[in-house]
Amino acid sequence: MSGFEIERKFLVNGSAYKQEAFHHSRIKQGYICSSHGRTVRVRLRDCQAFLTIKGPSDEKGMSRYEFEKEISCEEAEQLFRLCEPGIIDKTRYLVKSGQHTFEVDEFYGDNEGLVIAEVELKAEDEPFTKPDFIGKEVTGDRRYYNSHLRNNPYCRWASQSEDPS
């Protein structure tokens, strides 16, 4: 798959998303390269693995080029050896809302306590129905990019006076 992805990102209130989810999976991901808004990521999701290349986001932080290719789990494990320090570990919950599916990521490890929801859109101005658990919008706030959380995890934010609320 390749093309532009358009997504909006939100903080999540409470844990109702877990009961509303129609599916969930554990994700481990690392970054072979992450600089200047460009990333090369390896992801292991349950029994599947992917290599993803993303370009820099637009000025609103909503759109960016994405190329993704499925690889074998063995290849993913080998590529993890090339990754920069800091692995992202999370569970992704899929929640249907209107015509869209929200991906809700509950983070572990140094990012424990952070829960973020994303919705992919076909156009930047496409309307969508927000589930009740959706909180503050953080689209374009680079602190919430997984590649940034790898370097500057959520557990350090309080000590840096970067309150996420």
Q: Which residues are catalytic?
A: 31
Contact 29, 108 (CB under 8 A): no
Q: In whole angstroms, give the CA distance from residue 96 to residue 21.
A: 7
**Could you tell me where the beta strands, DSSP code E, fall in the chain?**
2-12, 23-35, 38-45, 48-54, 63-71, 88-97, 100-107, 115-121, 134-137
Distance CA 116, CA 106 (A): 7
Gap between the Cα atoms of 77 and 141, Å rounded: 30
